Amino acid sequence: MLGLKEHIEKERKIYEDEINTLNNKLEMMTIVMQEKETTLHQELVEMEARTAKTNEKFREYKDDVKKITKERQDYLKNERAYRDTEQRLTKERRKTADLQRRLDELKEKLAGHTQTPSCGNGFGSRLEAAIREAASLQSP
């Protein structure tokens, strides 16, 4: 019976050693898992921080694009207004040139009529005075 008791005692010791080994492995795996979990948590925090920073930059870029788009629209609006004003100015210059040409023609006609005998302070004199007055108003 002694042999059986020794055999059982050896098996019990083997099983206890195996249990201790498994417990040690379990503790080591638990520590490794905690370290991995901590590392993953740190990586997650860093990733969230990068995401927040990227989102903020995206909002800034989006605001910049809106600002640039508005500035571009304002520029185009001003450009159109400038062109319209330039066209109106050109039109006014043409009108002024036409009026000047008509005034010159009237002066020539008047000069031709004043060389012919006239009746003193008649129509020709009044017309000439009116033309001189119009010319003085046209001069800048």
Q: What is the overall mean pLDDT for the chain? A: 89
Do 138 and 106 contact (CB within 8 A), yes or no? no
Name the pLDDT band for 57 (thresholds 50, 70, 90).
very high
Examine the pLDDT at 34 and tell me if it is beyond 90.
yes
Name the pLDDT band for 25 (thresholds 50, 70, 90).
very high
Residue found under tokens 């930059």: 57
Which one has a higher pLDDT value, 45 or 120?
Answer: 45
Domain encompassing residue 122:
2-138
Side-chain half-sphere CA neighbours of 49 within 13 A: 6
Do 131 and 107 contact (CB within 8 A), yes or no? yes
Predicted confidence (pLDDT) per residue in 89-108, tens digit: 999 999 999 999 999 988 88
Number of compact structural domains in the chain: 1
